[in-house]
Structure 1
Amino acid sequence: MSAQIGWTDWLVIGLYLVGLVLLSLYLSRSQHSRSDYYVGNHGIGPWAIAISTMATQCSTSSILGAPAFVAFAAGGGLVWLQYELAVPLAMIAIMVFLFPAFYRLNLISVYEYLERRFDLKTRLILSGIFQFVRAFATAVTVYGISLVIELITGLPFFWSVVLIGAITLLYDVLGGIRAVIYSDVLQMLILVVVLLGLLALLLADLGGFSGIFSALPSGRVKSLDFAATGLGDGQTFAFWPMLIGGFFLYVSYYGCDQSQVQRELCSRNLNDGRKALFLNGILRFPFVLLYCLLGVAVAAFALHNPGFIDSLPKDAGQPNYNLAVPLMMTKMLPHGLIGLGMVALFAAAMSSLDSVINSLSATTMEDFVRRFKKGQWQQRTELNLSRLVTVCWGVLTLGFAFFVGRIADTVLEAINMIGSLINGPVLAVFALGLLTRRANGNGAVAGLLGGFGLNLYCWVAVPTLSWLWWNAFGFGCCFLVGYLVSLISGKRNTEHGLYWHSLGEQQNDKRWKKGYLLLVLWALVILLVAWGLERL
């Protein structure tokens, strides 16, 4: 599979990478402070923020792994679409409860809220957890895409990491969050165009949707599973765990994770931030549907062309299904467009890597570095130091990519499981702060440990329980333990303005009631689309 690209493909890749660097140089002219660097001086529009958020969520692991899950995984198929039912509902919860509080407090690091509401240790613990989990997961993403680059281009693994990482780090350091967001928009557009083109070619080759769906066994196109519960029956991707567990997962990820919230905080005002969340709740499903349909098409192509599976690179003697989409690109696209296809894979990786590096830098500066300085730094000094911290995180993350090889395959399959160990407890810590007056830092940390411990026990002792339920169970355990420990210890922070109900009319903006209703109706539309696909 190696060295299947020509000079025209390299030209397309080179022009794209140079264009990203030039864009970041242009955007760097408007940077004068750390606020410019990390939140774009609160001057970015909702459409750009929404598309950038989608691009980060849909990483290389999604673009390669989701079609492979749909096409080849045992128990896979279109049941993946059930995961999307929770997204619009999660956006409502964030728009109502979380985002207005964070925006009103003029935060850069979302974990600053925890210090103001609880204490310093709660802030540093949550920030540290974010930095560890995100840096490790991003190293796995870099490892995965670098393997693809190595296989397709013939570049050694070292230079594949350098190619994807160095360019991303360069435009991230120069352009800050503006470069992250606007490059994500460009990368998302390229990715959609390439995936649509590849799907169109497969449809033409296989006789359209009717030819594709008729060729597959019914289990592969099954999209809804109401019968199973995931509560000990071994059915991980049943409807209820994906809806309920997915709701807590998405509220935590989009509402409490710095890599996501930081984009929302770039909004020009509270209404624009809500609009960005609303757009993400609407636009995400069509894109996920696109790469799931691509997975169905790849499965049908493999049935019509038995040699396709054998042509996949082997991993421990078994075909590596995650490389099905890149291999399909080299088979279906002419030279030049293969380069564009590689750019799409670069885009998927870069859109995850750039935002994580920038958010790691933001939390390090805001939660750790700045507290060591007595008095105020000059704005230029803060900006240069922010860029230096970004470089350090970029180098560290890229360095990690060389050491995850032996466990990367396991982590790529289990990355959502690992996140689900802590997603629910993290959300519960913020909920304790926003929804209760009696909760304190000791209770929040005790609840965090309790929720994480419960989820870890479920992983080890109850393997037949769907890991999606961990998000809900961890939330409930953390909230209950945190509140009880707080009642016992008694101490609390009573600073005005840190509770949800203290936000007053901002939380009850009548203009958004129709928006919330539309998101509920959109969740029903997703359900109907999934039901309709199952009956094609």
Structure 2
Amino acid sequence: MSGLDWLVLFITLLVIVVYGIYKSRGTENIEGYLLGNQSFPWYSVTLSVMATQASAITFLSAPGLAFSSGMSFVQFYFGLPLAMIVLCITFVPIFHKLKIYTAYEFLENRFDLKTRALTAFLFLIQRGLSTGITIYAPSIILSTILDIDTTYTTLFIGGLVISYTVYGGTKAVSYTQMLQMSIIFLGLLLAGILVVRLLPDNVGLGKALQIAGKMGRTNAIDFKFDWNNQYTVWSGLIGGFFLQLSYFGTDQSQVGRYLTGSSIGQSRLGLLMNGLVKIPMQFLILLIGVLVFTFYQYQQPPVFFNSYELGKLEKSEYKEEISKIKNDYSNAFVEKQAQIHILEKALDQDDEQAINTQRSILEEADKKTRAIRQQAVDLMKKNDPKADTNDNNYVFLSFVTRYLPQGLIGLLIAIIFLASMGSTAGSLNSLASTTVIDIYKRLINKDASDEKYLSASRWATVIWGIFCILMALYASEMGNLLEAVNILGSLFYGTILGIFVVAFYLKKIGGSATFYAAIITEVIVFGCWMMDIMAFLWLNVVGCVLVVLIALILQRFQKNTLATSSALNT
């Protein structure tokens, strides 16, 4: 990066951190630290909710996902608006009226302590692991820019976020997230415009999308019902609905965000706006990835997008082999580029037969370039068995650092940092609040002073921050980070949602039946995942439904057992 880019990056990050600390000054009690004194308007709730969900993973991995496999991931969010409506009707008013700090306090009132503790434990494990992935994402950026190992950059990013989250709590998180999302929207708009401007003069937005479409990258909608297909309309509407309902309704990282609303109405409006804005935002991020794909039909992409791993290989004993692979890759690209120009002419002439012919030829050209890329990956593994050989997360970053103008590179990289900081800070704050309210205050120290709980919250933030950093050090083994974090969530969210569904709607079912139903369900969900029985989105549906059904059966069995025992005693 240029000196100007470093200046833009540094100033942007400094302004965000200083602003958050300044706005959160005077936080002296547990309510202010965990809930921001419930003083925020709806637009702050909307931006805070979006910022917590839209981590650096969104801006790094989503364009890479669209680049490699198209826009079908947008279907993942189709159940979101419906989930927001259900939340606004059911969850929000109950949580506000109970004046709770965490969602899991409600479960003890409804069931018992063990059910509350189990649900809090499931959340802590899931959110702690997921937050590690969100910390790892921006460390990729620094690693690429500075050409150093991600271990060092992970430690730096994690330490930076922990520092201002520990100091300011929810106020620091919410105020910084408002400013972060404003900068993010501006940066994404500029990035989209510049990708189109970098295309050849005779290739505008329309033709760029046509070319991408003929090469299978604009496949946003799939109506086929297939248990094993990760992204379809049905998996998005049904599985996505259950996932989003669980995430926003039972995950403290989100519940804690909309509980900061100054009233039920402000929290509701904030969630509804999130439901309306999120799908178009995600669509545009994926669209940028598709446009980058078209751009790389005219400009030769690197044989491997992770420049750090490629650089290691080029300096190794295999430098001659990788040099030959790069030469073969360049020749294959020239051949493919010639076919792209023929496709252009066919599109201009609207010659359907020629278009279909070129589509088949380009599919074969794609296979050839992928095969050459695989040779480079195999060589990397041979040189270093621990090498990060998944470069999907580096596609957009590589494009930004190589082709965008000075200043804007620094801004876009700052955006990715901000997204990670906002999401990570929100998650750390929720981990701390759940640990202190549901574990420490309830089970360990029930009658401490407010100052003691505030101190415990700050220490919990530090401890969870360290745990998440350790998790981040292993995140490179998880493939595409966007998919990894959603798969991880799907292993727990269905079970947690099932517990809340029973709590809200099945008043005759008690705590013991729900507790054991949740444990049995979690074992089954993990079994389904391990055996790869279905696409991960469906695990949310299965988990929720199983908790309800098993709890009904156990409650009936318990009732019959008690009735029999009573009859025998008489």
TM-score, structure 2 normalization: 0.80
For 2:520, the equivalent position in structure 1 comes to 450
For 1:221, the equivalent position in structure 2 comes to 218
Question: CA separation in 1, counterparts of 2:445 and 2:133?
Answer: 38
SS where residue 220 of structure 2 aligns? coil
CA contact under 8 A between 2:133 and 2:485: conserved in structure 1?
no
Residue by residue over 1:429-465, the C-alpha shift from the partner in whole angstroms, topping out at 9 and shown as x without a partner, is: 00101101211111112221233233233223453x2
1:479 aligns with 2:548: yes
For 2:510, the equivalent position in structure 1 comes to 440
- Trace 1:193-342 onto structure 2 (pairs within 5 A): 193-206=186-199, 207-218=203-214, 219-226=216-223, 228-231=224-227, 234-310=228-304, 312-313=306-307, 314=310, 317=380, 320-342=391-413
SS where residue 220 of structure 1 aligns? coil
Deviation, structure 1 residue 395:
2.2
Question: CA separation in 2, counterparts of 1:189 and 1:13?
Answer: 16
Deviation, structure 1 residue 370:
1.3
1:58 aligns with 2:127: no
1:399 aligns with 2:395: no
- Trace 1:14-93 onto structure 2 (pairs within 5 A): 14-72=10-68, 76-93=69-86
SS where residue 266 of structure 1 aligns? coil
Question: CA separation in 1, counterparts of 2:481 and 2:513?
Answer: 31
Change (3 A) 1:337 1:414: closer
Change (3 A) 1:24 1:348: closer
Change (3 A) 1:421 1:21: closer
Deviates more, 1:452-461 or 1:92-101: 452-461
Deviation, structure 1 residue 274:
0.7
Question: CA separation in 1, counterparts of 2:17 and 2:529?
Answer: 43
Change (3 A) 1:17 1:414: closer
SS where residue 150 of structure 1 aligns? helix
Deviation, structure 1 residue 112:
0.7
Matched AA of 1:13: L
Deviation, structure 1 residue 30:
2.9
Change (3 A) 1:143 1:335: same
Residue by residue over 1:72-98, the C-alpha shift from the partner in whole angstroms, topping out at 9 and shown as x without a partner, is: 1xxx31222222221111101111122
Question: CA separation in 2, counterparts of 1:147 and 1:130?
Answer: 26
For 2:330, the equivalent position in structure 1 comes to none
For 2:438, the equivalent position in structure 1 comes to 367
Deviation, structure 1 residue 312:
4.7
Deviation, structure 1 residue 336:
2.3
SS where residue 328 of structure 1 aligns? helix
Question: CA separation in 1, counterparts of 2:455 and 2:29?
Answer: 9
For 1:460, the equivalent position in structure 2 comes to 530
Question: CA separation in 2, counterparts of 1:469 and 1:310?
Answer: 33
Deviation, structure 1 residue 410:
7.0
CA contact under 8 A between 1:24 and 1:172: conserved in structure 2?
no
Deviation, structure 1 residue 306:
2.8
- Trace 1:157-196 onto structure 2 (pairs within 5 A): 157-196=150-189
SS where residue 79 of structure 2 aligns? helix
Question: CA separation in 2, counterparts of 1:376 and 1:27?
Answer: 30
Deviation, structure 1 residue 403:
4.0
Question: CA separation in 2, counterparts of 1:211 and 1:411?
Answer: 30
For 1:534, the equivalent position in structure 2 comes to none
Matched AA of 2:544: F
Change (3 A) 1:311 1:238: closer
Deviates more, 1:415-424 or 1:131-140: 415-424
CA contact under 8 A between 1:429 and 1:444: conserved in structure 2?
yes
Deviation, structure 1 residue 302:
1.4
Matched AA of 1:427: L
Deviation, structure 1 residue 250:
0.4
Question: CA separation in 1, counterparts of 2:71 and 2:149?
Answer: 35
Question: CA separation in 1, counterparts of 2:179 and 2:204?
Answer: 29
CA contact under 8 A between 1:201 and 1:332: conserved in structure 2?
no
Residue by residue over 1:153-175, the C-alpha shift from the partner in whole angstroms, topping out at 9 and shown as x without a partner, is: 33553441233222211111111
CA contact under 8 A between 2:432 and 2:464: conserved in structure 1?
yes
For 2:450, the equivalent position in structure 1 comes to 379
Deviates more, 1:373-382 or 1:198-207: 373-382
Deviation, structure 1 residue 319:
6.4
Question: CA separation in 2, counterparts of 1:351 and 1:120?
Answer: 32
Matched AA of 1:262: G
Question: CA separation in 2, counterparts of 1:180 and 1:31?
Answer: 13
Question: CA separation in 2, counterparts of 1:375 and 1:466?
Answer: 43
Q: How many residues align?
A: 479
Matched AA of 1:71: F
RMSD of aligned Cα (Å): 2.1
Question: CA separation in 1, counterparts of 2:530 and 2:449?
Answer: 51
CA contact under 8 A between 1:24 and 1:174: conserved in structure 2?
no
Change (3 A) 1:165 1:241: same
CA contact under 8 A between 1:37 and 1:178: conserved in structure 2?
yes
Query: Which of the numbers 94, 101, 105 marks the counterpart of 2:94?
Result: 101
Question: CA separation in 2, counterparts of 1:397 and 1:415?
Answer: 13
Question: CA separation in 1, counterparts of 2:149 and 2:545?
Answer: 47
Deviates more, 1:270-279 or 1:414-423: 414-423
Question: CA separation in 1, counterparts of 2:512 and 2:125?
Answer: 22
Deviation, structure 1 residue 18:
2.4
Question: CA separation in 2, counterparts of 1:311 and 1:399?
Answer: 25
Query: Which of the numbers 397, 407, 419 marks the counterpart of 1:348?
Result: 419
Question: CA separation in 1, counterparts of 2:555 and 2:523?
Answer: 19
Question: CA separation in 1, counterparts of 2:110 and 2:260?
Answer: 22
Question: CA separation in 1, counterparts of 2:108 and 2:74?
Answer: 38
Question: CA separation in 1, counterparts of 2:2 and 2:547?
Answer: 54
Residue by residue over 1:336-365, the C-alpha shift from the partner in whole angstroms, topping out at 9 and shown as x without a partner, is: 222112101101211111001000000011
Matched AA of 1:301: F
Question: CA separation in 2, counterparts of 1:158 and 1:81?
Answer: 32
For 1:142, the equivalent position in structure 2 comes to 135
Where do 5+ consecutive residues of structure 1 fail to align? 492-536
Question: CA separation in 2, counterparts of 1:17 and 1:224?
Answer: 37
SS where residue 303 of structure 1 aligns? coil
For 1:418, the equivalent position in structure 2 comes to 488
Deviation, structure 1 residue 177:
0.5
